[in-house]
Amino acid sequence: MLSLPSEDGILACLGRHFPNTHPSLLLGRGDDCAVLRGDRPLCVSSDLFLEDVHFRRAYFTPEELGHKALAVNVSDLAGCGARPLAFTLCLGLPDWADMEWLDAFFRGMAKLAREQRMALAGGDLSRCGELHVSVTVWGESVQADQSPVFLSRGGSMPGDTLFVVGPLGLARVGLSVLESRGRAALEDWPMACAAHLRPEPQVGAGLMLARAGCNARPPALMDLSDGLMRDLPRLLGLSGELGLHGDALGADLVLPQRLLHAELLRYAAQHGKNPVHEALLGGEDYALLGACAPDMLPALHAAIPGFFAIGTVTDGGGLVCNGESLDGLRGFDHFEAACGRTTGEGEEA
Query: What does each of the 349 residues of the chain score in pLDDT, given as a tens digit?
Result: 456 556 667 767 767 887 777 777 776 665 545 566 667 778 888 888 888 888 999 999 999 999 999 999 999 999 989 899 999 999 999 999 999 999 999 999 999 999 999 999 888 888 888 999 999 998 888 876 667 778 888 889 999 999 999 999 999 999 999 999 999 999 999 999 999 999 999 999 999 999 988 878 899 999 998 899 989 998 998 765 554 445 579 999 999 999 999 999 999 999 999 999 999 998 899 999 999 999 999 999 999 999 999 999 998 778 999 999 988 776 555 545 544 444 445 444 3
127 and 246 assigned to the same domain: no
Q: Contact at 8 Å (CB) between 255 and 268? A: no
The answer to whether residue 341 sits within a structural domain is no
Residue type, 70: L
Q: Please list the residues that pair with 44 across neighbouring strands.
A: 138
Residue 124 to residue 245: CA distance in whole angstroms:
41
pLDDT at residue number 336: 54
Q: Contact at 8 Å (CB) between 97 and 4? A: yes
Pick the closest to residue 153 from 244, 235, 249 (CA basis).
235
44 and 161 assigned to the same domain: no
Q: Contact at 8 Å (CB) between 244 and 237? A: yes
Assign residue 87 the CATH number of its domain: 3.30.1330.10
The answer to whether residue 1 sits within a structural domain is no
195 and 172 assigned to the same domain: yes
Residue 22 to residue 37: CA distance in whole angstroms:
10
Local structure of residue 335 (DSSP, 8 states): T
Contacts 24+ apart (CB under 8 A), 337-344: 340/52, 342/52, 342/53, 342/54, 342/55, 342/56, 342/175, 342/179, 343/171, 343/172, 343/175, 343/283, 343/284, 344/225, 344/226, 344/227, 344/230, 344/283, 344/284
Residue 55 to residue 195: CA distance in whole angstroms:
13
One DSSP character per residue, 110-174 reads HHHHHHTT-EEEEEEEEE-SS-EEEEEEEEE-EEETTEEE---S----TTPEEEEES-SSHHHHH
Q: How many CA atoms lie within 13 A of 38 on its CB side?
A: 21
179 and 129 assigned to the same domain: no
pLDDT at residue number 243: 46
136 and 232 assigned to the same domain: no
The answer to whether residue 69 sits within a structural domain is yes
56 and 143 assigned to the same domain: yes
170 and 306 assigned to the same domain: yes
From 148, 165, 180, give the residue that closes a domain: 148
The answer to whether residue 193 sits within a structural domain is yes
The answer to whether residue 221 sits within a structural domain is yes
What secondary structure, in 3-state letters, does 172-225 show? HHHHHHHHHHHHHHHHCCHHHHHHHHCCCCCHHHHHHHHHHCCCCCCCEEEEEC
The answer to whether residue 317 sits within a structural domain is yes
19 and 133 assigned to the same domain: yes
Residue 268 to residue 108: CA distance in whole angstroms:
32
From 116, 148, 180, give the residue that closes a domain: 148
DSSP β-ladder status, 318-321 and 250-253: parallel
pLDDT at residue number 33: 55
For the chain, how many structural domains are there in total?
2
Residue 24 to residue 289: CA distance in whole angstroms:
28
Assign residue 244 the CATH number of its domain: 3.90.650.10
89 and 164 assigned to the same domain: no
Q: Contact at 8 Å (CB) between 98 and 62? A: no
pLDDT at residue number 6: 62
127 and 225 assigned to the same domain: no
From 98, 120, 148, give the residue that closes a domain: 148
320 and 174 assigned to the same domain: yes
The answer to whether residue 213 sits within a structural domain is yes
Domain that holds residue 287: 152-325
The answer to whether residue 339 sits within a structural domain is no
127 and 204 assigned to the same domain: no
